[in-house]
Amino acid sequence: MTKRNVTTTPAVLIRPARPSEASEISLLFFEWQKFGEERGRIKEIRKSIKAGQVLVSVNRKSNEIIGFIQGIIQNDPISCGPLLYLSSLYVKPQFRRRGIGSKMLETSIRKAKCKGVVAVEVATAQKPALLLYRKLGFTQFTGDFDEVLLGLDLRVQVKKEN
């Protein structure tokens, strides 16, 4: 009998970030992007948290923040309504491929829909992220400056659900 290496998903809580967690989120930003000096970053993270733009994924067992997502709602004449722009989505490497990113993304979109958002946009060059967004129904397109973007029209998604 061979033993399989089974990776289990930890019980996680997806919730709004708290201002007191700005330093911990800043460390995750550094882990992800290898940013240099942190001067000003924590202040900006706190502003984003206070604006309700940041959700965190917390491991219920250890109470450790294992990921975050930041989404900014803006008025968008192209989408003919409010647009959620996802500026950041990060899950610690040891917790990836367990559905945590999907849960954060789905929670962020659900909350945005409650605020009347009609579309979601994100830019990424990361292949695993591209696969995640496509799995959730995003379509790829090229922006005004030839950047690769992914979009999700929530009006179309709602029609499919009905």
Token digits of residue 105: 């993304």
Calculate what percentage of the chain has a pLDDT beyond 70: 81
Higher pLDDT, 110 or 8: 110
Mean pLDDT of 126-154: 80
- Residues of 75-110 as b/e, b for ≥16 C-beta within 10 angstroms? ebeebeebbbbbebbbbbeebbebebbebbbebbbe
Write down the pLDDT at residue 80.
76
pLDDT digits (tens, 9 = 90+) for 14-58: 999 999 999 899 888 887 776 655 667 888 899 999 999 999 999
Q: Report the mean per-residue pLDDT for the chain.
A: 83
Distance of CA 19 to the CA centre of its chain: 18
Task: Decide if pLDDT at 96 tops 60.
Answer: yes
Write down the pLDDT at residue 6.
43
CATH topology for 12-161? Aminopeptidase (3.40.630)
Higher pLDDT, 138 or 36: 138
Is the pTM for the entire model greater than 0.85? no
- How many helices and strands, by DSSP H and E, does the chain display? 5, 7
